[in-house]
Structure 1
Amino acid sequence: MTQNGKVYNYLIKKIEEDKCLHFSLIDPDLVFQTLSMIKKYARYSTEAGTDAILVGGSTIADQFAVDKVVNAIKEETDKPVIIFPGNINAFSKSADAVFFMSLLNSRNLYWIIESHIIGAPQLKLWGMEAISMAYIIISPGGTAGYVGDVKLIPRNKAKIAQAYALAAQYLGFKLVYFEAGSGVDQMVPLEMVKATSNFIDIPLIIGGGINTEEDAVKFSKTGASAIVQGTYIEKSVIRDKGEGLKKIIKAIKTVAKNR
Structure 2
Amino acid sequence: MKCVNSVVLSKFLQQAVQGNSASVALLVDPSSQVEEGMSCLVKGVEEGWVDAVFYGGSLRTHSEEEVQWNSLRQRIQVPIFAFPSNALQVHPTADGLLHLSLVSGRNPDYLVGRHVEAAIYLDELGIEIVPTAYLLIDGGKVSTTSYITNTLPIPRDKVEVAYATALAGVQLGMKAIYLEAGSGADKVVPINMVKALSSKLDVPIIVGGGIRSAEQMQALSQAGADVLVIGNAFEENPFQVIDDLRTFKCAVKA
Q: Same fold (TM over 0.5)?
A: yes
Mean Cα deviation higher: 20-29 or 239-248: 239-248
Misfit runs of 4+, over 6 Å: 1-4
Deviation at 1:41, TM superposition (A): 4.2
Q: Which amino acid aligns with 1:22?
A: V
Superposed CA offset, 1:53-112 (max 9, x none): 0011112x1233222222211112111100111123532112211111111122311111
Q: What is the DSSP-based 3-state SS (H/G/I as helix, E as strand, rest coil) of the residue aligned with 1:18?
A: coil
- Alpha-carbon distance between aligned partners in 2 of 1:12 and 1:185, rounded to the nearest angstrom: 30
Identity %: 30
Q: 1:24 aligns with which of 15, 23, 26?
A: 26
**1:116 Cα offset (Å):** 0.7
Partners of 1:206 and 1:33 in 2: CA distance: 21
Superposition pairs of residues 129-148 of structure 1, within 5 angstroms: 129-140=128-139, 142-148=143-149
Name 1:165's counterpart in structure 2: 166
Q: Which moved more, 1:95-104 or 1:47-56?
A: 47-56
What displacement does 1:241 show?
8.9
The code of the aligned residue for 2:155 comes to P
Q: Give the CA deviation at 1:122.
A: 1.0
SS of the aligned residue for 2:87 comes to: coil
Confirm or deny: 8 A CA contact 2:16 2:226 kept in the other structure: no
Unaligned runs of 5+ in 2: none
Distance 1:240 1:179 in 2: 22
CA contact (8 A) 1:206 1:228 kept: yes
Q: Name the SS for the 1:242 alignment partner.
A: helix
For 1:190, the aligned partner's letter is I
- Could you tell me which residue of structure 2 aligns to residue 79 of structure 1? 78
Q: How many angstroms does 1:216 deviate by?
A: 0.9
Letter in 1 for 2:13: L
Q: 1:5 aligns with which of 4, 7, 23?
A: 7
Quote the residue 1:40 is aligned against: 39
The corresponding residue for 1:214 is 215
Report if aligned partners of 1:50, 1:249 keep a CA contact under 8 Å in 2: no
Counterpart secondary structure, 1:79: coil
Provide the C-alpha distance between the structure 1 equivalents of 2:114 and 2:40, rounded to a whole number of angstroms.
Answer: 29
Q: Decide which moves more: 108-117 or 138-147.
A: 138-147
Within 5 Å, give how 1:197-208 maps onto structure 2.
197-208=198-209
**CA-based RMSD:** 2.2
> CA 1:188–1:241 in 2, change beyond 3 Å: closer, same or farther?
closer
Q: Where do 5+ consecutive residues of structure 1 fail to align?
A: none
Deviation at 1:225, TM superposition (A): 0.9
Contact 1:133–1:173 (CA<8 Å) still a contact in 2?
Answer: yes
Aligned residue pair count: 249
